[in-house]
Amino acid sequence: MFKMNVVRTLFALGLMIGCAQGAQASLLDQVQKRGFLICGSNPGVPGFGLPDDKGGWTGFDVDFCRAVAAAIFNDPTKVKFIALSAKDRFTALQSGEVDLLSRNTTWTLSRETGQGFLFAGISYYDGQGFLVRKKLNLSSALELSGASICVQQGTTTELNLADFFRGNNMKYEPVNFANAEEAVRAYEGGRCDAYTTDASGLYVERQRLTDPEDSVVLPEIISKEPLGPAVRQGDDEWFNLVKWTLYALVNAEELGVNAKNVDEKAKSDRPEVRRLLGFEGNFGEGLGLGADWAYRIVKHVGNYGEIFDRNLGEGSPLKIKRGINALWTKGGLQYAPPIR
Amino acid sequence: MTAGSDGLSPFKAMKLRRHPALEFWYDAKARAILLQSAFVVAFVALAIFAFIDVRANMEARGIATDLSFLGKVAGFDINQSLIPYSAASTYGRAFVVGLLNTLLVAAVSLALATVLGFIVGFARLSKNWIVGQTAMAYVEAIRNVPLLLQLLFWYNAVLKPLPSPKQSLPLPFGMFLNNRGLFAPAPVFEAGAVWLVAALCVSLLAAVAMRLTPKRIKFATPSRAFFSGVAAALLLVLPLAAFVGAGTPVAFVQPELKGFNFVGGVRLLPEFVALVLGLSLYTAAFIAEIVRAGVEAVPRGQREAAAAIGLDRADADRLVIAPQAMRLIVPLLTSQYLNLIKNSSLAVFIGYPDLVQVFAGTVLNQTGAAVQVIFITMAVYLAISLVASLAMNLYGRRFALVER
Ligand SMILES: N[C@@H](CCC(=O)N[C@@H](CS)C(=O)NCC(=O)O)C(=O)O
């Protein structure tokens, strides 16, 4: 693991030598020339990002990468996925090993100003919670004083955890692991009284326990975790492309355009729909893409709501409610700037 | 005269035409110095160029390139620290915590591996068939399973199935064992403890003084028994007397089950125990082989010669065989020690907060200072390894052949 980091860092060094600004081809050009997108995704959080035995990937964050590939190549399969744990993801993005990081990563100030990234938006509004064993009979996270808590290192999770206990004047023992899998295994083995991560991750990990009924999620949400795709700073064209891919997904849902009706909607008279699908104006041009960029996205991967549903919502085993991730028109927070 | 016209190869022809100003070129030593300095200059220039360039590129992306992150607040907690540390401490302090945890686990494992390694090594040499075969089975079993698997075994298969704190296994001396670790009473020193400390100091000084006493005096027949008596008195009786005399000034705080965990007392984390077990059992197998090889490499004639001059077996071992075996053992031991220190970074896989886990893991991630953190980490391991080899080399000198 340390060796991997050393390799990544040296790789980053190598890239940074001689890649004077402007001298290099834009990332979009590079991706087009290469013929596929390289996307950093989750090593194993079902629903968000998960490789199957055949190397095929599924998940909410995975589908976002497919949407970007669809916009560029008109082919959602032109993506190479790289599994990145929380700890390895930033070095991988910094070093240029991936074009795009799409794996439940929280948007924070220091990740933009200190690490040199830009977040393209918020694809999932989340918050941190606790998973505990039922037999402890706890009803609140405030009863966790003195507990041992398993947590994944290199995350906002371990920082929020420290804040929460410090702020409430409680003691605890953090047990830090490099991967979610190890942290959960330690929780299951009894090393910890609680496991903490983003609430979305808690639903997922609970399902994966040998006996999910033995554990419960405590009611408190102790932080804001706005999760979204991130890119390196320094290439505005690429940043815009990724950002507007997300907005196209959300706008499509708002306009009622989905994978099934997208061809029919081509006949729509609504100006917003015509602009989205490229029949009026050429908005793809400014992104370095064709006029039908958003049409390709919706045609191949569906709109935001469809992606949510099939990976996390009713159409999935997780059955996560849309909650604050509903459209703003339906009482949620998902809101995209207009395409015009 | 053109090269080759006189039948000489062009190379030789050139050689014939040495220019006086280039004379130095034909001096192997001068040429070596020149070429090497040119190489060093080119390398340094390249490094400086790369450094400036990388810095500019990193800064253009808003990535910090200096070490100021070490002074910023860390914001995360660590569950084992030899110095006071909290989430409000700095990244620099987190670095020290990780470093000390690495040194602690390395030092403890090193000591255990050495003791066990020597015992197993001697056992392999034993004439007793069962003892020898058992030792061999141990060595073969341990050496042929990857260390990481062994660590995961100790951690997941042995320590985690231990009972929860509520069902802790009580051990002698008020200790408890559960899946949160090993808990023992912690000594608390009261005012009278100064006497105990003073007595211990005196004993220690005396021990050093005796060690420095020339053998000639120490082992002269009449003083031998006397010396042993004084030694025993100083090392055992004096501190004991001080302890009782000062009214047993050391109290013990018992660990107590409070809420989720035991509080009070001292605690060994399961991660620490698993790492120490894994590292020391693994390294001991290699050390055992080194010890066996070292002893077997001493020619048989040496033992016969020792017997011929009237040394008994113990004296022959101590005065003739051991010094010669050690001369072979020490350098090989050094490389095992260095391996152990490096292997301690496997800590990340079982959640022990060593330097790599805390610094190259969490700190790197929270700050994004990947380049700085990786270089510091590599430099630290290099420094630890250099110090360890230096110490071993100094120790090895004791067994060097002395020409008289
Ligand atoms: N949102 C947090 C934590 C993200 C995170 O790493 N979550 C865990 C649990 S949902 C995960 O994805 N683990 C997968 C792995 O790294 O093995 C952050 O950005 O720091």
Say what the ipTM of the complex is: 0.86
Q: What CATH architecture is B91-168+269-397?
A: Orthogonal Bundle (1.10)
The token duo for A171 is 């003691």
Cβ–Cβ of B365/A153 closer than 8 Å?
yes
**Residue numbers in B near A193 (CB within 8 A):** 260
> How far apart (Å, rounded) are the C-alpha atoms in residues A68 and A70?
5
- pLDDT for position B59: 76
> How far apart (Å, rounded) are the C-alpha atoms in residues B361 and B370?
10
- Separation of CA A146 and ligand 1 centre (Å): 24
Share of chain A above pLDDT 90, in %: 80
B388 three-class SS: helix
Q: Which of A82, A104, A128 to mutate to test the pocket of ligand 1 (most atoms within 8 A of CB)?
A: A104
pLDDT in tens, B83-112: 999 999 999 999 999 999 999 999 999 999
- Separation of CA A103 and ligand 1 centre (Å): 8
pLDDT tens track, chain A, 340 positions = 566 666 666 666 665 554 444 446 899 999 999 999 999 999 888 999 998 877 789 999 999 999 999 999 999 999 999 999 888 899 999 889 999 999 999 999 999 988 899 999 999 999 999 999 999 999 999 999 999 999 999 999 999 999 999 999 999 999 999 888 889 999 999 999 999 999 999 999 998 899 999 999 999 999 999 999 999 999 999 999 999 999 999 999 999 999 999 999 988 889 999 999 999 888 999 999 999 999 999 999 999 999 999 999 999 999 999 999 999 999 999 999 999 9
State the 10-residue block means of pLDDT for chain B, 404 residues long: 49 63 80 88 87 78 83 95 95 97 97 97 93 95 95 88 90 90 86 80 80 68 67 76 78 86 89 95 97 93 90 88 91 94 93 95 91 94 94 87 69
Cβ–Cβ of A232/B260 closer than 8 Å?
no
Cβ–Cβ of B260/A5 closer than 8 Å?
no
**Nearest chain B CA: its distance from A16 CA (Å):** 5
Interface subset of A 218-237, CB within 8 angstroms of B: 232-234
**Residue numbers in B near A111 (CB within 8 A):** 368
Domains defined for chain A, CATH in brackets: 27-125+227-330 (3.40.190.10), 131-223 (3.40.190.10)
Task: Find which of A9, A88, A113 to mutate to test the B interface (most B CBs within 10 Å of its CB).
Answer: A9
- Burial pattern B106-127, b for ≥16 Cβ within 10 A else e, equals bebbbebbbebbbebbebbeee
Count CB neighbours of B44 within 10 A: 10
Q: Which atom of ligand 1 is nearest to the CA of A197?
A: 9
> How far apart (Å, rounded) are the C-alpha atoms in residues B142 and B154?
13
Domain boundaries, chain B: 23-63, 91-168+269-397
Cβ–Cβ of A6/B374 closer than 8 Å?
yes
Q: In whole angstroms, what separates CA B45 from the centre of its chain?
A: 36
> How far apart (Å, rounded) are the C-alpha atoms in residues B22 and B30?
11
Q: Which of A85, A125, A157, A160 to mutate to test the pocket of ligand 1 (most atoms within 8 A of CB)?
A: A157
Whether B347 contacts B273, CB under 8 Å = no
B17 three-class SS: coil
- pLDDT for position B2: 46
Cβ–Cβ of B351/A177 closer than 8 Å?
yes
- Provide the phi-psi class of A256: left if phi over 0, else alpha when psi is between -120 and 50, else beta: left
Whether A323 contacts A63, CB under 8 Å = no
Map tokens 């220019």 to a residue.
B19
The pTM of the full predicted model, rounded to 2 decimals, is 0.84
- Burial pattern A273-309, b for ≥16 Cβ within 10 A else e, equals bbbbbbbeeebbeebbbebbbbbbbbbbbbbbbbbbb
> How far apart (Å, rounded) are the C-alpha atoms in residues A121 and A230?
8
